[in-house]
Structure 1
Amino acid sequence: MDLHPVRLTPGADLRRALEALATASGADAAFVVAGIGSLVNARLRYAGEPAETDLAGPLEILSLSGSLSASGAHLHVSVSDASGRVLGGHLGHGSIVRTTAEILLAPLPGWSLAREPDPATGFMELVVRRKI
């Protein structure tokens, strides 16, 4: 497997930068295997909630993982604040890198990821296809 280490610099929108990396690479499928770093602020959507919540920083990224595809990103993040309180959820746009974000990407050549409606869950869910 060909892994790609990436460093995002201060001021980058974490989710938008990862989506842009996936688009620029031409990959139809990639996973964020791991990520650490720091954020000025974070936008998270908690489980079962329809709207995102803004978290003021500074925040440490304790973990970051998820999928990247042409139809969008599905990323989960856990962050801690200055008192060590940990929160996590779906990563939203507008989560800004403070000092660094160090990420390991795993592109999946020969595969395609898409988000399509799933009647069982009522959500747009991952569909995995092998390219022919």
Structure 2
Amino acid sequence: MKYHVMRLKPGQDLKKEIENVISQKNIEAGIVMACIGSLNCAKIRLADENIVKEYNEKFEIISLGGTLSKNGSHLHVCLANEKGICIGGHLMYECYIYTTAEIVIGKLEDIIFKREYCEDTGFKELNINYIKETVNDNK
């Protein structure tokens, strides 16, 4: 596995900047290994909802997880407000950095992630393609 480490500055869009790195580094299969920092606003889609919720307050980024690919990514975030109350969901664009975001991305080798429409869910879901034989406990 290779690693890409980045630090975002105030005003940068969290999702957009991650996608820029994925594109620039030509990452076909990656994971978010760590992300800490803060936002001055957030847009997330909550579980089992089709609407995006907007929050115009400051948050600590408690965690960010997801599968990453130049073919499409899927990111979930957990945020804590000034009272320590957490919210979380599907990360959307326009989540702007307040002070910083320190992010570590792992690039998986010999794997390609793609997103394909799934009739069961109605969403584009993860499709995993192995380039060559790798150790995989899920086979």
Give me the TM-score of the superposition, normalised by structure 1.
Answer: 0.94
Could you say what secondary structure the match of 1:100 adopts? strand
- Number of corresponding residues: 132
**Matches of 1:125 and 1:24, distance apart in 2:** 23
C-alpha deviation, 1:27, in angstroms: 1.4
Counterpart of 2:19 in structure 1 is 19
C-alpha deviation, 1:35, in angstroms: 0.8
Mind listing any 5+ residue stretches in structure 2 that lack a counterpart? 133-139
**Matches of 1:57 and 1:71, distance apart in 2:** 32
1:103 aligns with 2:81: no
Alignment of structure 1 residues 24-35 onto 2, 5 Å: 24-35=24-35
Code of the aligned partner of 1:36: I
Mind listing any 5+ residue stretches in structure 1 that lack a counterpart? none
C-alpha deviation, 1:123, in angstroms: 1.7
C-alpha deviation, 1:59, in angstroms: 0.7
C-alpha deviation, 1:28, in angstroms: 1.1
**How big is the alpha-carbon RMSD for the aligned residues of Structure 1 and Structure 2?**
1.2
**Matches of 2:115 and 2:124, distance apart in 1:** 5
**Matches of 1:111 and 1:97, distance apart in 2:** 31
Counterpart of 1:115 in structure 2 is 115
C-alpha deviation, 1:109, in angstroms: 2.4
Give me the TM-score of the superposition, normalised by structure 2.
Answer: 0.90
C-alpha deviation, 1:5, in angstroms: 2.1
Poorly superposed stretches of 4+, deviation over 4 Å = none
Code of the aligned partner of 1:87: I
Contact 1:27 1:109 in 2 (8 A): no
